[in-house]
Structure 1
């Protein structure tokens, strides 16, 4: 058919319009699927990059989180373990009958069990025969598996962040997936691909306090490439993807001593401590050397309805008679008591139902003797000479009304608090009639509304050993790059108590009285310890539901001649008829410290 020149031009223009329409359609699709999606969500999440990352990251081997070390560079968060990765592929690539039989024998299962497992496999997995924890390969197994030459099996190094024998769990904390928090706090990292919605963040402990640094710069993962029929692509089957930066992951260097921590927790378990805490501080700098909490918990399977993941060393509870240290300090500083005057204890005051733990009474006691014997009547009578304001002032001077842990600026827009969820102590509840005499008597012996944390209790002893000046305890001393170059440093600094400090004279006197507690008072059970020790006992009555329980405390220091450590221990919610565990626990902890000190000489 012959077309005129005019008709040819019309056909040509029509074709151009069709081509232009097609190009415009592709351009629109490109804009929607590629260009626009670079910031296509309300939080500027890069959909393309995230989708590509999700395709590449078939199985995460290492989260890229920084490691947590003790002061001697011993790791708490575990060394990598060798694990077996299994990739889903077509059945014809599983190996012959003999290979499958040999593989099943190596893994300790039946061949049909392996076949069923492979049929059900939808995505790459670490081989785990009976639990969620990947199977740890021995060197012999690794050699035998490698000899099978099955392309869909890969032996890799896998992050083992929370090993079964890990200690200081509540202090270190745990990580968990938290998509809402990632969207709210880390939209930029999500958009750049550093984080995905299923990435894990620190949810408690050091993992949370130092998440800003510990998160690192990306995960290490392994991908397996197949064709449309799930057959391995020759030369492209497995690919390791990892950040290429020699400075990461970082090292979080704590003040803890792992050996001491391990021994203390083992000792607590040998004593069957179900609930309680131990805090050990270095006297020179106030650093936390050990911090143990019970009950134990599994950071891989966290039950948020339980309190086991919570660090009891940072929780404010009724202190009982260890609080008499504050009353004694106030009485000495304010001059309301003469050192030689005596207070008569007949076992009860006759009003408010106020009694002494020794029903028959102690007879006449000086304040020093009343402290050693932990006489309730002596301290009730002393409290009658003090005001509420004075008591609060000296509780503040000794650091019992504020968070004690290290705080400060450290490369983050907000102030860093090293101790996650540390509670401040207090003397009175909001509705308590604080000027009521009966209330004040109960307060003077550490009952009623008084709450103190084990960390505050041990740091109170450190304060006395520093002539009344309070230090702010550290748990982390520095953050280092992988090259060991220091990224952040956390220097020792004093605790701002607002009210100032107590005098050196009063501090020395109270330390001497703590020695009396051991030589002739309620702490005589410590006389056979490896070191000469000093301290103060405490028993606080508490109610759990409708049951009466007690908290058993002991705080102190040692050795007396050259104090090196301040220690607080508490055994919580014990039956009132049970024997005292706090003094044997304190002795055991101090003996561990003494043995460690001797081993270093």
Structure 2
């Protein structure tokens, strides 16, 4: 009998020890990351006895150059707490302010045990102030953060989402301090990713009240307002994007049904991105298939790259006004498909003669095997052209983290192969540049050869809109082009848009345009082929303000949508500039 009692007592003791250990784990050790699913027990326990209404998730936002919100908006909403149905409150006064019947508000409260959020009411900022001035318990008007549908520059701004692995790896200390949890949103792509450490939430701004098991208020009509203690946060990242101009560009890409490609518009004077859009449209429900920002991804530039060869030829004595080229020949000096006859250097550029630039490419590289890389850099086409530098504890911070590295050659030995050099000189073979880099080249030429890094963010702002970090303008080091060379390049590019040039349809625009077209062959299979179609240029020619690149990638269509988009964009920008002046 004693032995049995001992065994039973031992089993009960072991069971109690197990329960005690489990209880310690639940209450002390794993309160914020219970089980493999990382359940926050503290949050769950609070949610059982408290109703929470989140006003702001605490994450910083992104604004355009005029401080207009790009990723979010703030909407006045009326909150009606459920305990109102048990007290007398001046429903008529509230109804008069918000412009609905008192019966409507009463029915809203009676229908649910949750906080009524009446988004349907047209509440103004003034109406919000009037409601809150009444100081009615359970009746509150707030400005609520709301994600914008149809975000402008969505690929550039990027996505946010839940990533527990990233949080634990990158923000372990902040998680241990309880500032963030596994439910905190982090940047997945774009500027949201690059600036994640600045934008990361320090806590929600919310309204909270406690309830019993029936959902009735535990502490009368008391509603608690909770927000992080730091009055300077969350911060805002101020981009260089001009929202109105951005929306014009995106509308044109949609109008001309660009399936893959996009556009980049740069302010020539400041070298800041005014608009940047990539297609296909970002599908937030299946973002892995559409998340690529093709304006930061290197592509075959085709004849746009001839601008580099032209610059080198002008400075290395391969250009004379009397020299002509047999443009009935193709890139390899054989009978070609285009019958252009004997053309001068200027006409070869305007009509984009492959034979001319293949010939010049081979002549130049015999003198210096690094000629193409040298002159690409002189034109502002570095390996990466986006702004980079020291920002606080980051030694080499890049706002455009996703920007690809540009390339001309994959193997040194190909510089000694005539056909490889010929293909490279016309922007084929291994030559790949991002549309952003091409835009930088256009802006460099438009500025008279002054080379700069491209900026897409101007400031990081405190909550009160004061700047606590400004991204200074960065000039690129090294030698640039001679002024005489730049002037001739500008004239060559103007000739491309005049009668007989490859972009002559741009000749009668209200702004005079200078530019270069390009068509890069991607796939050739029998009669089917896919090409990249480019138009890159700047305007107005006499006093340059804008550098624009439009590209349609992997296109099989016969038309030239990029030139049509460029044409319409110039017209729209002219109209906009006239309105601003008025």
Q: TM-score, normalised by structure 2?
A: 0.81
Runs of 4+ in 1 over 6 A off after TM superposition: 27-41, 45-57, 84-89, 124-127, 140-143, 150-155
CA offsets 1:401-434 (integer angstroms, 9 cap, x no match): 4111111111233421111301121113359844
Match of 2:418 among 437, 442, 454: 437
The residue aligned with 2:92 is: none
CA RMSD of aligned residues (A): 3.9
- Quick one: structure 1 residues 205 and 40, their matched pair in 2 at CA, closer, same or farther if it must change by over 3 Å? closer
Maintained 8 Å contact 2:253/2:262: no
Structure 1: runs of 5 or more not aligned = 1-26, 94-101, 128-134
Residues 543-600 of structure 1, C-alpha deviations (whole Å, 9 max, x = no match) = 3999621111111111111111111111222215x21111111122222222222222
CA–CA distance in structure 1, aligned partners of residues 416 and 221 of structure 2: 79
**Structure 2 match to 1:188:** 173
The answer to whether 1:159 aligns with 2:145 is yes
Asked if 2 retains the 8 angstrom alpha-carbon contact of 1:556 and 1:567, the reply is yes
Q: CA deviation at 1:246?
A: 2.7
Q: 1:231 to 1:483 in 2, by over 3 A?
A: closer
Whole-angstrom distance in 2 between the partners of 1:379 and 1:292: 31
Cα distance, 1:229 vs structure 2: 4.0
Partner of 2:316: 334
Aligned partner of residue 451 in structure 1, secondary structure: coil
Select between 541-550 and 459-468 the one with higher mean Cα deviation: 541-550
- Give distance in 2, aligned partners of 1:207 and 1:561: 38
1:281-430 → structure 2 map (5 Å cutoff): 281-298=266-283, 301-307=284-290, 309-348=291-330, 355=336, 359-387=337-365, 388-430=369-411
2:486 is aligned with 1:507: yes
Structure 1 residue 178 displacement after superposition: 0.6
Separation in structure 1 between the aligned mates of residue 115 and residue 395 of structure 2, nearest angstrom = 39
Partner of 1:73: 67
Q: Whole-Å Cα distance in 1 between the matches of residues 302 and 212 of structure 2?
A: 70
Q: Tell me how far 1:245 sits from its aligned partner.
A: 3.3
Q: Secondary structure at the match of 1:317?
A: coil
Secondary structure of 1:590 counterpart: helix
Match of 1:64 in 2: 58
Residue matched to 1:449: 430
Q: Give the alignment's TM-score, normalised by structure 1.
A: 0.78
Post-superposition offset of 1:454: 1.1
Q: CA 1:57 to 1:533, structure 2 compared with 1: closer, same or farther past 3 Å?
A: farther
CA contact (8 A) 1:279 1:455 kept: yes
Q: Which residue of 1 aligns with 2:236?
A: 251
User: Post-superposition shift, 1:316?
Assistant: 0.8
The Cα shift of 1:81 comes to 2.8
For residues 490-542 of structure 1, the C-alpha deviation after alignment (integer angstroms, 9 at most, x for no partner) is 1111134xx63222221221111001111131111001211111100111111
Out of 231, 251, 255, the residue aligned to residue 216 of structure 2 is 231
Please name the residue that 1:533 is paired with: 513
Aligned residue pairs total: 531
Q: CA separation of 1:52/1:487 partners in 2, compared to 1, >3 Å: closer, same or farther?
A: farther
Alpha-carbon contact 2:180-2:201 (below 8 Å) kept: no
- For residues 548-559 of structure 1, the aligned pairs below 5 Å read 548-559=529-540
CA contact (8 A) 1:222 1:240 kept: yes
| Deviation readout 1:276-308 (Å, 9 max, x if unpaired) | 21111111111111112122124xx3423313x
Shift of 1:467: 3.3
- Shift of the 53–454 alpha-carbon distance from structure 1 to 2, 3 Å rule, reads farther
Worse-superposed segment, 29-38 or 284-293: 29-38
Residue 517 of structure 1 is matched in structure 2 by: 496
- C-alpha displacement at 1:444, in angstroms? 1.1
Closer/same/farther in 2, CA of residues 382 and 422 from structure 1, 3 Å limit:
same
Contact 1:467 1:505 in 2 (8 A): no
Secondary structure class of the residue paired with 1:540 = strand
**Alpha-carbon distance, 1:82 to partner:** 4.8
Answer yes or no: is the 8 Å Cα contact 2:265–2:549 preserved in 1.
Answer: yes
Q: Distance in 1 between matches of 2:289 and 2:480?
A: 39
SS at match of 2:416: coil
